[in-house]
Amino acid sequence: MSSVIYTIVVVAMVLPIIGNLPSEIQMSRALGLYDTMWGIWIMKMSFLGMYFLVFNAMFKGIPQDYAEAAYLDGASELRIMVNIYFPLARYTFFTVLLLNFITYWNDYQIPLIYIPSYPTVAFGVFTYSNSNATMNSSVPSRITASIIMLVPILILFLIFHERLIGNVSMGGIKE
């Protein structure tokens, strides 16, 4: 069953979706998701993409000895997932979360299209750099705005760098 799901997800990732933006906006308006923060979170929540492959490889890399030992101790499937697999996946989860934060923090098109009432810093930098009044302005002001955008990402990385980089290999099984 897992190979069927994997194949469906990979095929869905490969198929191009071209020209769906107008229908997506119309559907988001009909469902009341347009121009709301919750709406954009719900619309952009997806299990498809590169991170599906990252999590799939990570979970396949976990030795089955952990689950077998937990079965012998009488643990249920849910308990094994919550107490064994999820703690082993936490560094991968934090890494994916940080990469998604960086992606959406630097994106100006999604807020421009879906949440025009909530402009982001990236949208402000885009608007400033493309306005006619600043067309002849100096490059240092644009670089300054970009560095200001970098500060939250840098702070997050400095806080979580040991957790993100520290668990390169999983251990715990003695042969």
The Cα 139–Cα 129 span in angstroms is 9
| pLDDT reported for residue 34 | 93
**Cα distances (angstroms) measured from residue 10 to each of 25, 45, 80:** 25, 17, 27
pLDDT of residue 79: 92
pLDDT tens-place values along the chain, 175 residues long = 788 988 988 888 888 778 888 888 999 999 999 999 888 888 888 777 888 888 888 888 888 898 899 889 988 999 999 998 999 888 888 888 888 888 888 888 888 888 888 888 888 888 877 776 655 566 777 788 888 888 988 898 888 777 666 544 444 554 5
Please name which of 170, 172, 128, 174 lies closest in space to residue 148, comparing C-alpha atoms: 128
- CB distance 145 to 125 below 8 Å: yes
Q: What whole-number distance in Å separates Cα of residue 1 and Cα of residue 3? A: 5
pLDDT at 167: 46
Check residue 132 and give its pLDDT.
63
How far, in Å, CA of 40 to CA of 34, rounded?
Answer: 7
